[in-house]
A = this chain, B = another copy of it.
Amino acid sequence: MQTPTLRDVADAAGVHPATASRALNPATRGLVNAETARRVIKVAESLGYRPNPIARGLKTAKSGTVGLVIPDLTNPLFPPIVRGIEDVLEPAGYSGLIVNTDNDPHRERQQIESLRSRQVEGLIVATALLDHPLLGQLRREGVLMVMVNRRPESVDVPSITPDDATGIELAVRHLVELGHRRIAHLAGPLNTSTGLVRARAFRSAVRDLGLEDDPALVAHCDYWSEDAGAAALRALLDSGTEFTAVVAGNDLIALGCYDVFAERDIDCPRDVSVVGFNDMPFLDKLRPPLTTVSVPHQQIGGEAARLLLDAIADPTRPSRSVLLPLTLVVRGSTAPPR
């Protein structure tokens, strides 16, 4: 036998499908005689009835799904975020449809198209391209959205972001307290909001802590990758600029530094200290274990999902944004300068 439908339940219970529907839906159960309701429920159970959310969705125009737009699930940043999202969506009866954009605007457009046609009720967007025309367009078309890890500049969209500025300050302060005076920054790509925010935060932290704000101490990476980090550090080293510590734009960039250290026989942390950003898994297994700013990714995902569910429940509610506090995890890659 096929999976039973509402009709089957109604027939078996000797009621009209509409009555069965009301009895089975907790929200409308009150409209029905308690006795009848009980009977319907029992029959439904014995038949192994499970409502078909697709059919329900067709009627109610709610799909029970939301789209998760991420660059690449394979980037260790995202799995915890996705997990945090799912853990909040699931008990609310929602599920997430993941798409990977590889940061390709064309692909992103396409994927979002596809999500919309699948009738997602909202979007959680974790792609980091700045100034996206698509963003405003979606906004205007009334697509509910929450931004993760990035605060849109021009558009009024709820967002949930780590407090990057404070995180960077934590890193710089830690180095200053160890006695460092010449601290370099390997900034992430400046066309990403994260890269920009962290680079700005670095310079103001340096000034606030009474160090000289020397532009020569900031190098830029073209990508958030080990290779780009290594290249930037090499350039910095080759420029002859003196420094005793590095604040990397993220952990991958910091890993690139490790490669250069091996290559040039530089002893970390004795010659140079390094601080990363994100606290990816297994950083404690590196030699030396990487000191880094820890970002609560799973919590970020959870908050994002909550924000979106709120927006779905009441689309008129003004858009709220959340800034999550970060912590510094001190490990072995930082030490006093010698």
- A97 beta carbon closer than 8 Å to chain B: yes
Please determine whether B52 and A117 come into contact, CB atoms closer than 8 angstroms: yes
Which B residues are in CB contact (< 8 Å) with A117?
Answer: 50-53
Q: Which of A40-59 contact B (CB under 8 A)?
A: 50-55, 57-58
Q: For the side of the interface on A, what is the size category?
A: 35 or more
Asked whether A73 is an interface residue with its Cβ less than 8 Å from the other chain, the reply is yes
Give every chain B residue within 8 A of A96 (Cβ-Cβ): 97-98
Given known contacts A54-B118, A118-B54, A258-B285, is B83 in contact with A74 (CB within 8 Å)?
yes
Q: Is A99 an interface residue (CB 8 A)?
A: yes
> Lowest 10 A-B CB distances belong to which pairs?
A287-B287, A50-B117, A73-B79, A73-B83, A79-B79, A74-B83, A74-B79, A95-B97, A54-B119, A74-B80
Tell me the complex Cα distance, A72–B86, Å.
11
Q: Which of B63, B64, B73, B280 contacts A82 (CB 8 A)?
A: B73
Contacts of A298 in B (CB 8 A): 74
Interface residues of A in 56-111 (CB under 8 A from B): 57-58, 63-64, 72-74, 76, 78-80, 82-83, 86-87, 90, 95-100, 111
Task: Tell me, in angstroms, the Cα distance from A19 to B99 when the chains sit together.
Answer: 32
Neighbour of A86 across the interface among B53, B64, B79, B98, CB < 8 A: B98
Q: Which among A73, A119, A298 has the greatest number of chain B C-beta atoms within 10 A?
A: A73
| Contact residues in B for A171 (Cβ distance below 8 Å) | none
CB contacts under 8 Å to B, within A105-135, are 111, 113-114, 116-119
14 contacts between A and B (CB under 8 A): A50-B116, A54-B58, A54-B118, A55-B58, A64-B118, A73-B82, A73-B83, A74-B79, A74-B80, A76-B79, A95-B99, A96-B97, A98-B98, A285-B286
Chain B minimum-CB-distance residue to A57 = B54
CB neighbours (8 Å) of A218 from chain B are none
Given contact pairs A58-B58, A73-B79, A76-B76, enumerate 17 new A-B contacts (beta carbons under 8 Å): A53-B117, A54-B63, A73-B82, A73-B83, A73-B86, A74-B80, A74-B83, A74-B298, A86-B98, A86-B99, A87-B100, A95-B97, A95-B118, A258-B285, A280-B282, A282-B282, A286-B287
A87 surroundings in chain B (CB, below 8 A): 100
Q: Who on chain B is nearest to A297 by CB?
A: B74
**Residues of B contacting A73 with CB < 8 Å?**
79, 82-83, 86
A83 touches B79 (CB 8 A): no
Q: Nearest chain B CB to A85's CB is how many angstroms away? A: 10
A225 to chain B, nearest CB (A): 12
A281 at the interface (CB under 8 A from B): yes
A72 in complex: contacting residue of B51, B83, B280, CB < 8 Å = B83
- The minimal Cβ–Cβ distance linking A255 to chain B, given in whole angstroms, is 6
